Amino acid sequence: MANFNTHLNGAFIVSGTLGLTVYKAGFIDDAGFLMCVALGTMGGLLPDLDSDNSTPIKIGFNVVSFVFAFALVMHWRSEFSLLALIALWLAGYGFMRYVVFYVFTNMTVHRGVIHSVPYMAILGIGLTCLNYYGLDYSLTTSWFYGLFLFGGAMVHLLLDELYSVDLMGARLKRSSGTAMKIYQHKDRWWYLLLYVILAILIYFAPPFEAFWQQLSDPTAWAQLKLGLWPQTLKSWLN
C-alpha cells in the first residue's frame, strides 16, 4: 500500500497536469484552476478516511472539529456569556474530535466500502450537484470540480493497487485487489446502498451531455495546441 506522501504527491502531480491542460484550453479561469488542483489533491487522500490511524482522517477530524466548534460559538455568540461560549467551544470540539471520531472509526474498516470506486463516485457527483444546484456555479465548473475530486481518488486507488504488486518477486501481494473495488460480496448490502445512492445522484446530476459538448469543442483544443510549445522552441523547430 502506498504511503501518505506518495498519495499526496501523486494526486497533486496528476491534478496539476490536468488542471493546467484545461486551464490553457480556456475551460476554467485562474481560481478554477487552483480549485481543481486542490480538489484533485484532496481526492487523493479521501479513500484513507476509513483508516483509524491515517494522517488524512486525523487532519480531517481536527479541521471538522474546529469548524464545528467555531460554528456553535458564532451561532450563540449574542446569547451566551464569555465563559459559556468558551465551554460551548470546548464541548463542541471535544464532541466531534473524540465522540464522533470514536463512533466513525469503530463503524468503518480500512479498505472497506469507503475505499471503493462507487463511494468515490458518489462524492464526486455529489460535489458536482452541490456546486451546480446549491452554489450556482456554471455547468462546466461544477463538473470539473466533481471530476477532479473523483480523479484524485482514482489516483489513490490505482497507486494502492500498483503497490500491491511485488515486481522483484514477480508476484501479487495479499493486498492485491483490495484497493480499487467496485463490489465485495461480504459487503453486498452496503454496496447495494452505494449503487442506489449513485443512481439517484446520476439521475439528478447536471446535464453531462452539454458539458461533454463543451469539452469536445475543437476550438479550445486548437488554442491549446498553439500554446503547447515555447515560442523560442517553435522558432528553432521551424
Mean pLDDT confidence for 49-55:
59
What's the CA gap between 223 and 218, in Å, rounded? 9
Query: pLDDT tens for residues 68-111?
Result: 788 788 878 888 888 888 898 899 888 887 777 766 665 455 55
Cα torsion for 107, 145, 116, 174, to the nearest 10°? -110
> Among 17-26, 61-70, 136-145, 201-210, where is mean pLDDT lowest?
61-70
- The confidence band for 53, taking pLDDT boundaries of 50, 70 and 90, is low
Exposed, middle or buried by CB within 10 Å (0-12, 13-18, 19+), for 103?
exposed
- Lowest mean pLDDT, pick from 16-25, 32-41, 148-157, 226-235: 226-235
113 or 211, greater pLDDT: 211
For residues 91 and 18, give the distance between their C-alpha atoms in angstroms, rounded to a whole number.
42
How many CA atoms lie within 13 Å of 11's alpha carbon, on the beta-carbon side? 31
Report whether 85 contacts 73 (CB < 8 A).
yes
Q: Compute the distance between CA of residue 39 and CA of residue 60 in angstroms, rounded to an integer.
A: 14
Helix ranges (H only) for 77-215 are 82-94, 101-107, 117-129, 139-163, 188-204, 208-215
Q: Determine which of 81-85, 152-156, 224-228 has the lowest per-residue pLDDT on average.
A: 224-228
